Every structure is written in C-alpha cells, then in structure tokens.
Amino acid sequence: MIRLRDKMAEDLRLRGRAPITIRAYVRWAQRFAEHFGVSPAKLGEGDVRAFVLHQVEERGISPATHTVCLAALKFLYSVTLNRPEVMARIPFPKVPVKLPEILSGSEVQRLLGCVTSIRCRVICTLAYGAGLRVTEACRLKPGDIDADRGLVHVRGGKGSRDREVVLGKKLLGLLREYWKIARPEGSYLFPGDVSGEPITRQAVYLALKEAARAARIRKRVTPHILRHSFATHLLEMGANLRTIQVVLGHSQVGTTVRYVRVARGHIAGLTTPLDVLGTKEGEVLG
C-alpha cells in the first residue's frame, strides 16, 4: 500500500488538490487497505460497499464524513487504479442541510478577548473581521497584508482561487501590534512549531475551544463559526448577497444564500400576511 499511497498522493497533487484534501483522501485509502489487510488493487465493489457500511453502521460516521470517504475511494479507483467501474454503482449519501451556528456580536467580543495567545487571537480575528477560513489565515504571508489599500490578499483559497478581502482599521492595528510583539521569522506571518511551516488549524481550534470555555459560550465553537458570524453580521448590516459571495470566495451564490436564513434582520423583520389582513396595507392581498 505504501507505493500505491504515494502514487495516489502524487495524482492528487497533479490535480491541484489542497494539502488537507490530500491527507484526508490518502488516510481513507489507508484505512480501507488496513480494514481488509490487502492492497486496494486486489479489492472490488463488494469490498467497498462492506467497508463503507461498516463505517456508517458500526462506527457511526456522519453523512459529511461518509461523503469524504466515498470521494476518496472514488478517486483511488477512478484515477490512481484506473478502475472507475468499481465505484460506478455506489451511491453518495444525502447530506442534511443545516443552518450554520452563529455568534452574536457580544459573544464574538467575549470570545476573542479570551484567546490568550496573540498569534491565535489575530488568526481568529481575521476569521471574523475578514471572513477568512482558518487555513487561509494560517497560511498568510507578510506580503499578503496590503495596509495602503486596506486589503488582505488570499492566495490559493478553496478551489485554488485567489481573492481580496477588506482589512479594517481595528484588524490592521491588531496585526501591527502582533508584528511588534512576535516578530515572526520565515515565510509565514503565523509560523508553527515545525520550521518553515505555518501554525496548524488544530492549534487554533484548541486555543479557541479553551477561549469558548473561559467566555462561557455554550454553542459549539470552532474557527469556522467566526466566518459564519462575519457573513451573517454583514448581511444584517445591509451588505448584498453578491458582495458577501465575493468576499467569502463562494463559487456559487447558493452557498451564500443560507445566511439569509439565520440573519435576524431578514427573518425577524418580516411582516406576516396575517398581521395586515383587514388593513389598508393588506389591500394588495385582494
């Protein structure tokens, strides 16, 4: 499996997949091989079905994880092993569409104030203040901060797309404070423990989890909740969906539309038809 694993990782890199995707796909291929104790090259459709059912029924993986598992095995057989027929009749699960968890403005303030590491606090502030994904924030380089134009350049975001996002005054001030204190060395603005590598998303997640506990926030707090909150608060402040789509780097506006469903101003501000029946305003209803 070692040689096959290397070839799969190479195939993924050749197709420009993100490092996090490569690690996830190769890990699922490895689990699949270890489950049966033989190379996937010697296995087929029935084995894939048995493995996936075991993951769903015995290990209780979520529909989202189920999808990643199948995507990894589909890539393994369709590309690396050139046997697309193995996965042709295996269906993908229907993933439930859930509303994103959102923090209020006061909760965001409390949360960010409880992040003890200035490095992680700046990253989390970037996630909320500029709507960055945590991996995008972690991999920023000093040259990506354009203080003169008030922009942050995001290089190679999801889907290998570059974009520019706003750099507010408070965020710029925090970045300058961080630079004076940390004086980061190397290519990355937020270097990690491994020389030449940026801080890991896991390190940020753990710091934020501890901050949520200290701030006594009972919602499920992850770095991504800050990005969700950024988008929802922008909408509540009057920004249009197209602008938010561009800032977030969504390829489809349908991905952005879900924030309408959690923005208080768009839902709580609606007038129900029942309240206007029998009034002058209700005449338009006939």
Question: What residues are annotated to the active site?
Answer: 133, 158, 224, 227, 250, 259
Residues 16 and 160 sit within 8 Å (Cβ to Cβ): yes
Q: d(Cα 146, Cα 111) in Å, to the nearest integer?
A: 27
Q: What tokens appear for 205 in the block?
A: 């997640």
Place of tokens 């602008």: 243
Q: d(Cα 188, Cα 138) in Å, to the nearest integer?
A: 8
Q: What tokens appear for 167 in the block?
A: 């750099």
Task: Give the DSSP letter of residue 154.
Answer: E
DSSP reduced 3-state for 272: coil
| Long-range pairs of 68-75 with CB within 8 A, sequence gap ≥ 24 | 68/24, 68/25, 68/28, 69/28, 71/25, 72/24, 72/25, 72/26, 72/27, 72/28, 72/29, 73/28, 73/29, 73/32, 73/48, 75/8, 75/11, 75/12, 75/25
Using alpha carbons only, how large is the chain's radius of gyration in Å? Answer: 23
Place of tokens 């009034």: 279
